[in-house]
Amino acid sequence: MAAAADTAFVGRAPELERMHTCLREARSGKASSVLVQGPAGIGKTALVRRWLEGLAPEGFPVLRATCDTSEEDLAFGMIGQLTSRVPAVLLERFPLLAGAIPAASEPFQVGAELLGLLGELQGGGPVVMIVDDVQWADQPSAQTLGFVLRRLEADAVLTVLLARSDTEPGRAGGLDLHRLIARMPHNCELNLTGLGVAEVAELAGLVYGRPVGSGTAERLREHTGGHALYLRTLLTEVSLEGAADGRDALPVPTSLVQALRRQLEALPGAARALIEGIAVLGGPAPLATAARVASVAEPDAALAPLLRHGIVRWWPHRPSTPVAIAHALQREAIMGATPPDRLRALHATAATLVDRAASWSHRVAATHGADPRLAGELERAAGEYDSAGEAVRAANLLLWASEVALPRREQERLLLTAAARLLWAQQYLRVEALLTRIEAAGPSPLRSLVLGGYGTPRGTPGAAELLREALEARPAEPGTEFVPAMAGTWLGIKHVVDGHGAKAVPVLRDVLAIDRLEPQLAPWAAGSLGLARAYADGARAALGEYNTVAPPGSPRSAADQALQRAYRGMLQMWAGDLADAQHELAAALDTARTQGSAVTSEFTYANLAASQYLLGLWDEAAISADHALAIADAEEKPWAFSYAYSIASWVPSGRGQWQRARELVERSYRWSREMGPDYGVPLAALGNAVLAQARGDHPTVLAALRAVLGARPDAGPLAFQTWWRPLLVEALIAGGDLDKAAPAMTSLAALGEEAPSLRLAVAWLSGRLSQARGDARRARDTFEAALAAPACADDPPLHRALLAHGHGRLLAHAGEHHRAAARFTEARDLFAALGAQPFLLRYRDDFADWPAARPHSAGAALSGLTGRERDISLLVGRGLTNREIAAKLFISSKTVEYHLGHVYQKLVISGRRQLRNLIQQDGSPGG
């Protein structure tokens, strides 16, 4: 019988051709993806291996990873594999990818660097990324991959994902793979099934070295279903004569597992021992280590039959000559066929030969029954991981500890503690898999904490009551001291989500007063208190208390400092300290990126976008809002959508991009309804009001703001009242409802005493109200005093433009045309600089008779570009390189090049210098 070569490509010519088609698309600069699906052992890996062999002479970069169930708790393990073969000199440009990726990193941070790396690698041709058994990807890696695939555009990148269809079809780390690849510029799905009779005959002929008749092929196919791995296993065990004998039943086992076990039984003793050692070690391991685990004196000789039968893969060109079981099903069969006492002995030996992190699983597997001492060691090691920010790995050790602990109450405590850590790391899918065991546990504060915490983001009825039970059940038993603080923090978040900021404040204050509060909880509890206080009493009061419980410069770590700055920036932005807010929010994101830490970036980018919009940096605001939405989408954070979509609509509204603005507002409303009636409706309504203001539709402004005015006082509107109160007063005055406008103006003026960003709005609207009442002198004095005052860093340019326009109108009515012209020109230039076309059009009659506005040729020229082209052009104007632009926009440098080519064509210019000159001659168009 001929040696069993890698023959799974037999009969796969159509699939190979479709993969080649996707590669051709990638070569042309159209990012492509292939999803290869099928049952375990059907030939997915062999198909891709064969395809790669045909590409070997071309020598373009191939990034590969193989996921495994044993590494689902290793954050970013898959990404680490993809980058492991990239030259170190290239990885030096990407700090997170250059070493062990910090477990606390947010997936988009890692994804942004991976995008940059892919951009660099495309210089010599297409890049291929292959992820095998993607259904077992750890969640952070899956979210990182999702972020990258959503951002690939004009890239010579082909992504090949291999997934089992017999586990959870089409899912990986919580991601919908079908939906993910459907977003790619080019994609295809390959669903592998069993081989047909002709393909079975061809494969058998290759193995036997001589032709196989159709009758024999039919019998083989009927017996195996054409399953490639099963068929290859049989062919290595059964002679052609045995396969061809039709008088009796085929003399082979009736299942793949049985066939694999029969194959193992026929191996020489040393080979059988060696393969057991390889299987116990799991992934690729040095041949010498596997031999020591199995007590095999001559590993080279023992390896030969394993390679001949295709059970083992070997990498002799690597220094440690690693080996691994060829297929997961083969490993499962080997482990299942090894006697339990032998298996425990192998694990015990392996535990002494691998590093400490890898030894825990072997030590657990080596136990026979309960081992309270080992459970204690696992719990202490879990504490070390948790302190290092690796909550998921800590949880995994706690789950193992629960399996070897005694008594039952101790098992339940460890299980529930693991679930609590997973919840805090937002690993809801892992907790969902444990729900049956969690619900079966006896009543305890820890059980109430886990069930209440799990139910909080899902709006589960009774979640608040469970958290309250956990909070009030004191004193805590040993090992559960963290329960009251975590329960209180979750309960505070639950109250805020439900729109009860006043209820959350005392709960969170009590959490922060707890002695020896866990370091991981303290910054989140303080931030949640700031949020709750803003809901209950307004942003200025919240900022004051937040600076007391989390003073600037107080955090023990850079990660804590980043989180504090994110919360402080949010409160400053709501309070009207716009310049400080922009600085804090940008610094928080920068620190989190460089340190690999979490700052709820989906909200932090949205808050940064809001501050940039108000400061007149509309182009930057559009980019930041896009980042917020991309992160929320890639990391599956639906709670951020209503807020982020509302803020993302502001710039399109201000620029008259009505269809885009309306679409974003509608999405904000839709997500607010998804999260509950009190969660996001005021925010969606605010986006609608901003859109109506830009249209000059004041009745719709008032209609939209009814949702804000009708919300509970502590449901959120007080937090961001600096945003909506000017819109309310403007609409009431424009509608002639002066009786309601007066008290609304009084409230706005009182708020303006402590909100620097409202200085100009208060003056503009006070003057308009005085003018509407017939008091032109008072209106004039109000306008002139505000315009004569020194400019403030927190002044919104849109408000100044409206103030200057209002003053110009008053002067024109008084016959002071020369002075009016100056004010009209100022207003027009400010509107034009923002790109606020609706405001220019609405007031065109006022501007028509005065001197021409300062030219804004770049702004006009860029109006014909797409959003992405405009963003890239503006950044070119600021002197950024393609690599810097790619990093700022979360795209690859290849995509930047692609869009620049279109920009040059549309603007009829020859290159980068002309584009930069066009942008710079206008100063800072649009922002």
Q: For 875-881, what is the mean pLDDT?
A: 90
Q: Which of 205, 16, 35, 243 is nearest to 134 (CA)?
A: 35
Percent of the chain with pLDDT over 90: 56
- List CB contacts of 425: < 8 A, sequence separation 6 or more: 391, 392, 395
State the pLDDT at residue 861.
65
Question: What pTM value is reported for the model?
Answer: 0.85
State the pLDDT at residue 601.
93
State the pLDDT at residue 1.
38
Residues 789-833 pLDDT 10s: 999 999 999 999 999 999 999 999 998 988 998 999 999 999 999
Q: Please indicate whether residue 301 or residue 597 has the higher confidence score (pLDDT).
A: 301
Q: For 151-168, what is the mean pLDDT?
A: 88
In this model, does residue 9 exceed pLDDT 60?
no
The span from the CA of 473 to the CA of 523, in Å, is 24
Q: For 919-926, what is the mean pLDDT?
A: 58
Mean of the per-residue pLDDT values for the chain? 88
Q: For 710-716, what is the mean pLDDT?
A: 87
Alpha carbon distances (Å) from 128 to 25, 33, 157, 357:
12, 9, 6, 31
State the pLDDT at residue 329.
78
Q: For 529-552, what is the mean pLDDT?
A: 95
In this model, does residue 161 exceed pLDDT 90?
yes
Position 529 confidence tier, pLDDT thresholds 50, 70, 90 = very high
Q: Please indicate whether residue 858 or residue 49 has the higher confidence score (pLDDT).
A: 49
Q: Are residues 238 and 4 in contact, defined by beta-carbon separation less than 8 angstroms?
A: no
Q: For 672-695, what is the mean pLDDT?
A: 84
State the pLDDT at residue 857.
43
Q: Are residues 487 and 521 in contact, defined by beta-carbon separation less than 8 angstroms?
A: no
In this model, does residue 681 exceed pLDDT 50?
yes
Calculate ∠ Cα 195-200-205, nearest 5°. Answer: 150
- List CB contacts of 919: < 8 A, sequence separation 6 or more: 858, 873, 874, 876, 877, 878, 925
**Helices 641-648 and 618-634, axial angle in degrees (round to 10):** 160
In this model, does residue 716 exceed pLDDT 90?
no
For domain 13-191, the CATH architecture is: 3-Layer(aba) Sandwich (3.40)
What separation, in Å, do the N-terminal and C-terminal C-alpha atoms of the chain show?
75
State the pLDDT at residue 849.
58
Fold of the CATH domain 445-537: 1.25.40
State the pLDDT at residue 712.
85
State the pLDDT at residue 672.
86
The dihedral formed by the CA atoms of 693, 694, 699 and 700, expressed in degrees to the nearest 10: -90
State the pLDDT at residue 167.
67
In this model, does residue 492 exceed pLDDT 70?
yes
State the pLDDT at residue 252.
44
- Radius of gyration, CA atoms only, the chain: 33
Position 360 confidence tier, pLDDT thresholds 50, 70, 90 = very high
Residues 624-677 pLDDT 10s: 999 999 999 888 788 889 999 999 999 999 999 999 999 999 999 998 887 766
State the pLDDT at residue 570.
97
Residues 52-66 pLDDT 10s: 888 876 778 999 999
* Eight-class DSSP state of 1: -
Q: For 423-451, what is the mean pLDDT?
A: 90
State the pLDDT at residue 414.
96
Exposure of 836 in the CB half-sphere (CA atoms within 13 A) = 31
State the pLDDT at residue 703.
96
State the pLDDT at residue 678.
62
State the pLDDT at residue 464.
92
Give the torsion sign (CA, 579, 580, 581, 586). positive
**Residue 374 neighbours by CB distance under 10 Å:** 19
Q: Which of 633, 648, 606 is nearest to 867 (CA)?
A: 648
The span from the CA of 407 to the CA of 414, in Å, is 11
Q: Please indicate whether residue 911 or residue 401 has the higher confidence score (pLDDT).
A: 401
Helices (DSSP H) in 596-680: which residue ranges? 601-614, 618-634, 641-648, 650-654, 658-675
State the pLDDT at residue 231.
81
Position 42 confidence tier, pLDDT thresholds 50, 70, 90 = confident
State the pLDDT at residue 653.
97
In this model, does residue 275 exceed pLDDT 60?
yes
Q: Which of 424, 447, 600, 602 is nearest to 521 (CA)?
A: 424
State the pLDDT at residue 927.
41
CATH class of the structural domain 859-920: mainly alpha
Q: For 423-428, what is the mean pLDDT?
A: 82
State the pLDDT at residue 715.
87
Domain boundaries, the chain: 13-191, 197-252, 263-366, 445-537, 557-628, 859-920
The span from the CA of 831 to the CA of 839, in Å, is 7
